C-alpha cells in the first residue's frame, strides 16, 4: 500500500505530458476536530493517490489546509469523495484563476501541529467566534467606507506584487508577526473602525478575525474565499475589480494575474516586474523578483557570487555545499542586502492619515 510519493518531479512531469489531459488547480481549508491526524492523513493519501491528485496538504488536530491539482475529468470523483467526510461535505473549493498542468508535481500530505503557523494559543480564546464573512460586492462597499481599515493578512513578498487599493500591507515575513503589530497600531480604534481583512484563500483571516475579536475589536470582517473567490465573483457579476497586480500562490505557478497593473519592480535593476523566482544556486535558493533581462544576464541567480557557483560543474557545487547550511538569505524572501532594489521597510500605517 503506497502512503508516500515515490516519483521525482522530472518523472511526474513526463507522465503528465504523456497523459495529455488538462489538470485543475484548486484549494480549500476547513477547521475541524480531527482526533487522529495521522490516520486521517493516510486515508486521504490512499484515496487521492488513486485519483492522481498532486499537491501540498497539511493535516492537524484543528483541521485541513489543502492546495492541489487533479485531472479535470476526475473533479466530480474528487468532490464525491470529499462529500463522504462529514466536515468536508459541500466544502467551498477555490478554483485557481490561472491554470497550469504543472502547478504541483508531487503529492505531499503532512501532519502538522497547526494547519497555519499562527503562533497562537488556541485555548486562550474562542477560535470559533470569527468575523463576518463578506462577498465581493459587500467587500467593495466596505473598503470604500472612510471608517474602514483594510488589512492584508499576507506576508510582504505576497503583497509586494499585488494587493487591494489602499490596503495596509504589513512588512512581515510570517503571518504570526502581523497579528500583534496590527493589534497595537489599531488599539485606539477598536470601537470606531471597521477592521476588514483579506488573504489568498481565506484561511489566515479565519483565525485572525477570532483573535482580533478576542482583543476587543467590535467590527471585524473577512473576505469570504480570499482573493481567489473575490476574483471569480468580480468576473461572474461584473463588479469593479479593486485588486491591483498579481496574487502570489504557493505552487510552481508562483502567481495569478488579477489585473494588468504591475506594482512591483525587479530587485536587481528596478524595472517594472512582478514575477518571483528562486536563485538557481541550490545553496542559496533565495526567492526574489527578477525580470527577464536580469534573468538572462545573471543566469537566474541573485548575485555574482551565486552566478559563479552555479556555473561550476554539478559535482563541484555539491562539494562546496557539503557540510554547509543554507544561507539565512533564504528566509528573507527578497530582502537580502545585496539586492539593490529590494522592498523598503516602512511603517505600515504611514499612508493612512485618517487612522489616528
Query: Which triple of cell numbers denotes residue 52?
Result: 492522481
Q: Count the neighbouring beta carbons within 10 Å of the beta carbon of residue 263.
A: 15
Is residue 88 within 8 Å of residue 81, measured between CB atoms?
no
Among 199, 279, 284, 306, which one carries the catalytic annotation?
199
Query: Look-up: residue for cell 461584473?
Result: 238
**Residue 279 designated active-site:** no
Given phi > 0 = left and psi -120 to 50 = alpha, else beta, which region is 265? Answer: beta
Determine phi and psi for 205, rounding to 5 degrees: -70, -30
Q: Count the neighbouring beta carbons within 10 Å of the beta carbon of residue 214.
A: 15
CA distance 17 to 15: 5
Total length of the chain: 356
In the chain, beta strands by DSSP E = 23-31, 54-60, 63-71, 94-95, 107-111, 132-134, 148-152, 162-164, 194-198, 219-223, 243-248, 255-257, 276-278, 287-289
As a 3-state breakdown, the chain gives helix, strand, coil percent values, each rounded to 5, of 35, 20, 45
Query: Sheet containing 255-257: which strands, arranged edge to edge?
Result: 162-164, 243-248, 255-257
Q: Count the neighbouring beta carbons within 10 Å of the beta carbon of residue 342.
A: 19
Is residue 310 within 8 Å of residue 299, measured between CB atoms?
yes
Cβ partners under 8 Å of residue 23, min gap 6: 16, 54, 69, 70, 71, 72, 99, 101, 103
Give, in degrees to the nearest 5, the angle at Cα 226 between 277 and 131: 135
Give the ranges where 144-249 is alpha helix by DSSP (H). 156-159, 175-185, 203-214, 226-237
Catalytic residues: 199
Amino acid at each position: 500500500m503506497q502512503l508516500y510519493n515515490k516519483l521525482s518531479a522530472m518523472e511526474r512531469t513526463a507522465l503528465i505530458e504523456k497523459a495529455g489531459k488538462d489538470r485543475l488547480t484548486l484549494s480549500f481549508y476547513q477547521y475541524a476536530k480531527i482526533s487522529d491526524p495521522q490516520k486521517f492523513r493516510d486515508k486521504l493519501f490512499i484515496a487521492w493517490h488513486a485519483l492522481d491528485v498532486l499537491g501540498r496538504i497539511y493535516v492537524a488536530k484543528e483541521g485541513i489546509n489543502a492546495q492541489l491539482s487533479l485531472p479535470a475529468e476526475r473533479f466530480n470523483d474528487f468532490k464525491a469523495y470529499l462529500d463522504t467526510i462529514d466536515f468536508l461535505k459541500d466544502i467551498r473549493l477555490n478554483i485557481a484563476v490561472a491554470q497550469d498542468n504543472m502547478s504541483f508535481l508531487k503529492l505531499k500530505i503532512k501532519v502538522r501541529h497547526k494547519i497555519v503557523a499562527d503562533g497562537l494559543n488556541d485555548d486562550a480564546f474562542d477560535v470559533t467566534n470569527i468575523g463576518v464573512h463578506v462577498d465581493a460586492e459587500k467587500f467593495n462597499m466596505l473598503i470604500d467606507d472612510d471608517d474602514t481599515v483594510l488589512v492584508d493578512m499576507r506576508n510582504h513578498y505576497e503583497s509586494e506584487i499585488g494587493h487591494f487599493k489602499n490596503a495596509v500591507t504589513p512588512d512581515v515575513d510570517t503571518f504570526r508577526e502581523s497579528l500583534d503589530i496590527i493589534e497595537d497600531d489599531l488599539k485606539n480604534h477598536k470601537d470606531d473602525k471597521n477592521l476588514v481583512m483579506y488573504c489568498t484563500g481565506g484561511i489566515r483571516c479565519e483565525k485572525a478575525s477570532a483573535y482580533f475579536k478576542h482583543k476587543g475589536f467590535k467590527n471585524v470582517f473577512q473576505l469570504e474565499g480570499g482573493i481567489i473567490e473575490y476574483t471569480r465573483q468580480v468576473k461572474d457579476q461584473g463588479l469593479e475589480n479593486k485588486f491591483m497586480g498579481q496574487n502570489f500562490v504557493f505552487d510552481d505557478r508562483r502567481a495569478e494575474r488579477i489585473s494588468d497593473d504591475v506594482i512591483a519592480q525587479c530587485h536587481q535593476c528596478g524595472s517594472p516586474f512582478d514575477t518571483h523566482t528562486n536563485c538557481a544556486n541550490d545553496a542559496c535558493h533565495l526567492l526574489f523578483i527578477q525580470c527577464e533581462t536580469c534573468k538572462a544576464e545573471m543566469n537566474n541567480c541573485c548575485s555574482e557570487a551565486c552566478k559563479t557557483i552555479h556555473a561550476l560543474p554539478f559535482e563541484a557545487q555539491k562539494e562546496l555545499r557539503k557540510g554547509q547550511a543554507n544561507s539565512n538569505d533564504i528566509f528573507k524572501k527578497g530582502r537580502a542586502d545585496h539586492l539593490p532594489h529590494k522592498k523598503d521597510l516602512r511603517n505600515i500605517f504611514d499612508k493612512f492619515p485618517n487612522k489616528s
